[in-house]
Amino acid sequence: MTLQSRLRRTLVGLFLATGFAAAGLGAPAFAAGPPVTVFAAASLKNAVDDVSAAYAVRTGGLARVSYGASSALARQIEQGAPADVFVSADTDWMDYLAQKKLIVDSSRRNLLTNHLALIAPATSQSQLKIGPGMPLAEALGADGRLSLAGPGVPAGKYAQASLTTLGVWDSVKDKVAPAENVRSALAFVAQGEAPFGIVYDTDAKVEPKVRIVGLFPDTSHPPILYPGAVVAASTNPEAARFLGFLRGHEAAAIFRKYGFIVLK
């Protein structure tokens, strides 16, 4: 038995053990091709892990997923990293690759949207009503830091835009603790290293060590969109199939379970 076959059998076994078999998923509908390499925004990790497992059961195929900040992943693709599919947490970085003709334009689709949440450690009693002029700087105190994804990362850009719209950014910009990606920003708050953070609603929902203080108005920042596309350099015939699976009913149910809003 080849290494690929052993990996596929192991993944399918693990997936069945999680209970997806009880949901009525049957045998693979078609023969599996080569593994698909997917670059996906860090905020998608839990959901895309489950989607990849469902893909394995339905098709017999493997998806190898690398997670990170959309900005970092796009730069890696630009530098020749062997990705087949890219799923970004905003349109800017997909546009960046499109302008360089590094994605298949006809394959590009907006898959999901999300909400932006203010979070605190689960043990915190802090309360803040999100709105114009909210006293976030006062709530942080003299030494407290606001955990955000870095300024080039989509979650960080959305957070800064929202705080600017609400007239709060200037009062907190010197109190920001920038993180590599949104999951790192989440971890800072979960570990008690920051009293507040701003992440996606879906990130907060998968981390029991934080609680959601409130959601930012969707009108306070640009629309949060997750576009997906096939990478132009990919020669893997399974790339389009996996992207199609991401847009299908099974994947939609998984994304909704994690709190994402699925776009038609």
Concatenating the DSSP letter of every residue in 97-126 gives: HHHTT-B-GGG-EEEEE--EEEEEETT---
Residues 177, 53 share a domain: no
Task: Tell me the percentage of the chain whose pLDDT exceeds 70.
Answer: 88
Q: Are residues 257 and 178 in the same domain?
A: no
* Residue 25 lies in domain: 3-113+225-262
Signed CA dihedral, 128, 132, 138, 144: sign only: positive
Whether residues 12 and 107 share a domain: the answer is yes
Same domain, 136 and 94: no
CATH code for the domain of 36: 3.40.190.10
| Shared domain check, 98 and 7 | yes
pLDDT band at residue 5 under the 50/70/90 scheme: very low
11 and 104 assigned to the same domain:
yes
pLDDT of residue 21: 35
- Give the percent of the chain with pLDDT over 90: 85
Does 58 share its domain with 8?
yes
Least confident of 30-44, 92-106, 145-159: 30-44
Q: Is the pLDDT of residue 12 over 80?
A: no
* pLDDT computed for residue 108 by the predictor: 98
Q: Are residues 106 and 122 in the same domain?
A: no
Strands, E, within the chain: which ranges? Answer: 36-41, 63-68, 85-87, 109-113, 116-121, 146-149, 176-179, 196-200, 210-215, 225-230, 261-262
Q: What pLDDT is attached to residue 30?
A: 52
CA-to-CA dists, residue 196 to 99, 131, 206, 246, angstroms: 36, 16, 17, 33
One domain for residues 29 and 101:
yes
Q: Which two tokens stand for residue 114?
A: 């999300």
Structure tokens at 196: 């507040």
- Residue 31: the pLDDT is 55
Q: Are residues 209 and 157 in the same domain?
A: yes
Identify the pLDDT of residue 16: 35
108 and 121, same domain (yes or no): no
Same domain, 170 and 248: no
With residues binned 3-state (H G I as helix, E B as strand, rest as coil), the percentages for the chain, rounded to 5, are 45, 20, 35
**β-strand partners of 146:** 176, 196
Top-confidence residue, 24 or 162: 162
pLDDT band at 32 (very low <50, low <70, confident <90, very high): low
Alpha-carbon span 52 to 64, nearest angstrom = 8
User: In total, how many domains does the chain have?
Assistant: 2
